[in-house]
Amino acid sequence: MGKTATLSLTVAEWREFASFSAEERDYIHRALDIGLARRNVLEHWVRKPGDISLVRDHREAYRPIAQLKRSIPSEYSFEGIEAFMGTLLRMTAFDLSQGALKGFSAYRFLYERLLGAAVRPWLASAFCGAAALPQIRPDHRKGLLQSLSQAAATAPAWSEDEPSFYPDYFDDEQVA
């Protein structure tokens, strides 16, 4: 891919990220910090009582990320699908149950960065399965399920291009 195509992809990813609510963007930042071990998460994300247990629960939910990356099955085979989908569904259910991700786009954006481009064909299934679980509040469940477009649910193929934009969180002090 040429520089122009890469730049176009990056700009599209910036725009998509900017279209998410502030709550979604904040959650994606924290999730990427935890999932990709980008910084001292406790120091950066613990702001009030109760945050320590939330961060620890999030870390535990993301513990299988490395295993998931290695075990993404072929989209044309059923080999290994049980373990992979079970683990992906559980991780997705954790994220959706937090209430910050309001739709499929924000979820897909996050998981493409956590697990890479190869996971794209599996995301609609995991999202639908997790969103329909009783652990998700009914009002939130409805919005999540309605957010999955027909195009995303029935896509004949997914891009194999890896994400090029990984949002990072900056404090006001870091920017000044």
User: 78-89 pLDDT, tens per residue?
Assistant: 999 999 999 999
Q: How many percent of the chain have pLDDT more than 70?
A: 91
- Return the amino acid letter for 101: L
User: 20-72 pLDDT, tens per residue?
Assistant: 999 999 999 999 999 998 877 777 788 888 888 888 999 999 999 999 999 99
| Sequence spans of domains, the chain | 12-156
Tell me, letter by letter, the H, E, C secondary structure of 105-169. Answer: HHHHHHHHHHHCHHHHHHHHHHHHHHHCCCCCCHHHHHHHHHHCCHHHHCCCCCCCCCCCCCCCC
- Return the amino acid letter for 163: P
Which residues neighbour 131 within 8 Å (Cβ) at sequence distance 6 or greater? Answer: 96, 141, 144, 145
10 Å CB burial of residue 30 (0-12, 13-18, 19+) is buried
Most confident of 26-30, 158-162, 171-175: 26-30
